[in-house]
Every structure is written in C-alpha cells, then in structure tokens.
Amino acid sequence: MIAYRSLRVALLGGGSVGAQVARLLLEEQEELALRVGAKLELIGIAVRDVNAERTVDLPRELFTTDAESLILGADVVIELMGGIEPARTLILQALGSGADVVTANKALIATHGPELFALAEQVGAQLNYEAAVGGAIPIIRPLRDSLAGDTVLRILGIVNGTTNFILDQMDSTGATLEDALATATALGYAEADPTADIGGYDAAQKAAILAGLAFHTSVPIDSVYREGITGITAEQIASAQKAGYVVKLLAVCERVTDPATGIEGVSARVHPAMVPRDHPLAAVRGANNAVFVEAESAGSLMFYGAGAGGVETASAVLGDLVSLGRRHVAGGPGLGESTHSELPILDISSVSTRYSVTLEVTDEPGVLAAIANVFAENGVSVELVEQSIQGDAGTATLVIGTHQAPEAALAATVDALSSNSVVTSVASVIRVEGAQRP
C-alpha cells in the first residue's frame, strides 16, 4: 500500500515534547503513512530561538521563528508551546485557515476551551487534546467517545505526577514534605518553582477539563475548588497509614445535589484526600497518574500510566495526529489501516519467557547437580531452586525458577527431565509474566 497523498504538519514549540514529536515524525514516517493512508510531512518547527540547544538532533532547516507563516501552509498544526499567548492566537489562526489542531496545552484548554471548540465546530475542523491530561494515558478519548452513551457519576483522578511522587515518598519513607520535595527536585520530578504542582494549580486545570468532558458542560477554571499539598505533614501521613489509608492529591469531579437548595449540578475540586489502601488508586505509586471513573452503566473503570515526560506525551500527540489524519483520507474510518503490517505470526516455540518448573525427584546426593545439568545442556539458565524434602518416600520436591528462555529450549528441557532417572515426575510447568525483563 502506497501513501497517496500528503498532510502538511506544522509544529509550534521545540521543547521536550516538541522535539520528541518531531523525531518520531521523521523516524516513523513510513509506518505512520501506512497507518494514516497519507504521508505526514513535517514542514517546520516554530521556536523562539532557532539556535537554542535541543534535546534531540533535528535538521536545522526545519526551524523557524515565523509561526504565522508556517501555519498558513499547514493542514495540521500541533501546538506544544504551552501557556495562553501566543498559543491561543495561533490556534485560532490555524482553525480559521481550515487546519486541524492537536494540542497538549492544559492551561489553554482549561481557560479558553469553549472559544476554541466553538471555532473548530463552526469551521468543521478537528481539535484534539489527549495529551493535555494524563500524558500518555488515553483518558480524553475514552471520556469523549467510549463513555459517550453512558452517564458519568464521578471521577477521582491522580493527575499530577510531582505531587504523587512526593506523597508516595512521604508514605513509603516517612519523610517530611520538605525532604520529599527536595528528593523530587533532585530527581527531576519537580521544577525549580514547584508552585503549580504542589499548590494544586496544574491538577485544577486538568479537573476543569475532565469535568467539562464528563458532564458535557463548560467548567470554568475558577469554579474549581483547589487545595494543594503544602499543609500535609508526616504526622498526617502516618496517622492515615495507621488507619488503613494513603494520602493522595485528588481531582474529584462529580454530580452533586446541593443539600440546601436541592439543585442538581456538577462540582470539580482538587485537594489532598485519604484513600483506602485497597482502592485501585492507592496502588498508583511514584510519578504515575491514574483516573478512576464511575459511570452509571459501565461501573468502575481505571486508566493508569505515566502522566508526563517528553516521549510519553509525544505518544499521545501522535495518536491524536494519526486519528485526525485518518479522517482526512477518503473512505473514512474503515479499519483497513489496521492490517497493513507484513509481520509474520510466530508460533509459541518462538516466544521467550520465564518458567517455574516443579519436579518430584528422588532424594539422594547428586540429584541437584544432575537436574541443573539438564537445564544447562538445553540452554535454559536457572535463577533459583527451592527444595522441600518430603516425609517418607525418599522423594523431594524441587521448584526451579528460570531466567528468560525460549519455549523450544524449555520444551526440550522438560522432555529430558521426564526421561531422567532421578526425576519421578514433572509436576507442573507454569510461565512467569510481568516481571522485569533483562
């Protein structure tokens, strides 16, 4: 299949996310063309200083300081500058000129979303912003499309990685807020001025966006109640721990009925909260994000992943880009694009994984060496052996954990074990998944 047309893509912003988006557009050009059904041609990157140092090596000729001219020649504009202006004006210009827009700009969507959505709808353009909340975690699209036929009742979101890292440090090490913040800063999880994060401002913008989407209404950022984590003490964390809770900074969006007036409405708020240790959100550690959604029909859903990072956020931006690119291509949303790959389907014997093998063996000297030899001869590396000697029959049970090994090698090992005189039986072979890979 050959890409039969080209979409001209303009990038605004060359920071950590922008540089990764540009790299992926160049490196994955052929694969992306197959997925879209059209070539995605990066026509330029608008930056403040074309000579600034970049985290990624990109062709110098792509850079320009003239964002307005760049936009004029684009089918799609990706805005990754952040902040309100000039991002807002440039997006309005792009939509006005008929271009589709992808943005990761949470501050802009939270404060000027209605204006931008109205213009996009008026001109029939697409405006995607999956990367604005939860980094690489798909949450905008599930709320907008997958839950479009349901009634969302409540959202509990861990939507700021910095504060989750700090609270997790305090919870797991007993550190004070001050010390945990210092660790976060040293590890690059917190910025030099951490106010936007620990003050809850970043989370409040995301709460406004999530509430707007979930409840099909416009939720102004200044209607979001906001409390940061600055008042949280080691004593509070310890006390919560003792009571079976963990403290998280939550964005809470819910349908509520005012007890005084009986008026039904929606509320969005951000504040530290105690969450039961057996709640799925309690297991969200480090700088990760997760959004827990309760809907009338769907019940409880959770979306979990890395909430920030240049390359992670770039993944969400590219997902938005490919999705809107597909709609540009004639023939609409058919799924033919999902089967362009030439990758062969390999048999289970090609798979490598780890194994736990349980053997019944005769309990006599030299058995362990004999067994170990069988594994070694078949190219399977043993990670650990656990032996439990049994009562009377002169037999013992060995549980052998292997390093990663090909299925074919393991099958040969099991065959050899079965015919080995010291092995009474191969009681079980079970694969081990989800452990760290080498």
**Where in 200-259 is the site for a copy of itself (CB under 8 A)?**
212-213, 215-220, 223, 225, 231, 233, 236, 239-240, 243, 245, 247, 250, 252, 254-259
Cα–Cα distances in angstroms (integers) from residue 386 to residues 356, 382, 383, 390, 417, in the given order: 11, 11, 10, 13, 17
Q: Any known ligand binding at 12?
A: yes
Q: Following DSSP, what letter does each residue of 134-173 receive, concatenated?
A: STTS--HHIIIIITTTS-EEEEEEE--HHHHHHHHHHHHH
State yes or no: residue 359 binds a copy of itself (CB under 8 A): no
If the CB atoms of residues 61 and 433 are measured against a copy of itself, the closer one turns out to be 433
Q: Any known ligand binding at 13?
A: yes
188 three-state secondary structure:
coil
Shortest gap between Cβ of 89 and a copy of itself (angstroms)?
A: 20
Cβ neighbours of residue 217 under 8 Å, at least 6 residues apart? 211, 266
- In the shown chain, the binding pattern of residues 413 to 432 toward a copy of itself, with x for contact by CB under 8 A and - for none, equals ---------------x-xxx
> Which one of the spans 3-11, 164-172, 299-307, 415-423 is the region binding a copy of itself (CB under 8 A)?
299-307
If the CB atoms of residues 63 and 292 are measured against a copy of itself, the closer one turns out to be 292
d(CA 155, CA 336): 35
Tell me if 294 sits within 8 A of 300, measured CB to CB: yes
Q: Any known ligand binding at 17?
A: yes
If the CB atoms of residues 169 and 267 are measured against a copy of itself, the closer one turns out to be 267
If the CB atoms of residues 192 and 348 are measured against a copy of itself, the closer one turns out to be 348
d(CA 292, CA 302): 4
Of 56, 206, 195, 188, the C-alpha closest to 131 is: 206
d(CA 347, CA 370): 31
Of 233, 248, 257, the C-alpha closest to 180 is: 233
Shortest gap between Cβ of 210 and a copy of itself (angstroms)?
A: 11
Shortest gap between Cβ of 353 and a copy of itself (angstroms)?
A: 8
Tell me if 125 sits within 8 A of 97, measured CB to CB: no
241 three-state secondary structure:
helix
Tell me if 289 sits within 8 A of 269, measured CB to CB: no
Cβ neighbours of residue 389 under 8 Å, at least 6 residues apart? 363, 396
Residues 78-137 that bind a copy of itself (CB under 8 A): 114, 117-118, 120-122, 124-127, 130, 136-137
Backbone phi and psi for residue 270, each to the nearest 5 degrees, phi listed first: -130, 125
Tell me if 348 sits within 8 A of 407, measured CB to CB: yes
Cα–Cα distances in angstroms (integers) from residue 374 to residues 398, 415, 418, 420, in the given order: 14, 10, 10, 9
State yes or no: residue 8 binds a copy of itself (CB under 8 A): no
If the CB atoms of residues 283 and 416 are measured against a copy of itself, the closer one turns out to be 283
Shortest gap between Cβ of 194 and a copy of itself (angstroms)?
A: 21
Please identify which of the residues 39, 206, 242, 248 carries the catalytic annotation: 206
206 is catalytic: yes
Q: Any known ligand binding at 107?
A: no
State yes or no: residue 2 binds a copy of itself (CB under 8 A): no
State yes or no: residue 391 binds a copy of itself (CB under 8 A): no
Sheet holding 39-46, edge to edge: 63-64, 39-46, 6-12, 76-79, 100-103, 127-128
Shortest gap between Cβ of 193 and a copy of itself (angstroms)?
A: 26
Shortest gap between Cβ of 119 and a copy of itself (angstroms)?
A: 9
Shortest gap between Cβ of 69 and a copy of itself (angstroms)?
A: 26
Applying CB under 8 A, among 50, 62, 196, 273 the residue interacting with a copy of itself is: 273
Of 75, 83, 98, 87, the C-alpha closest to 46 is: 87
If the CB atoms of residues 50 and 175 are measured against a copy of itself, the closer one turns out to be 175
The amino acid present at 264, given as its one-letter code, is E
Residues 16-35 that bind a copy of itself (CB under 8 A): 20, 24, 28, 31-32, 34-35
Q: How many residues bind a copy of itself (CB under 8 A)?
A: 140
- In the shown chain, the binding pattern of residues 311 to 350 toward a copy of itself, with x for contact by CB under 8 A and - for none, equals xx-xxxxxxxxxx--xx---xxxxxxxxxxxxxxxxxx-x
If the CB atoms of residues 52 and 243 are measured against a copy of itself, the closer one turns out to be 243
Binding site, residues?
Answer: 12-19, 106, 191
Q: Which residues are catalytic?
A: 206
Binding site for L-homoserine, residues?
Answer: 191
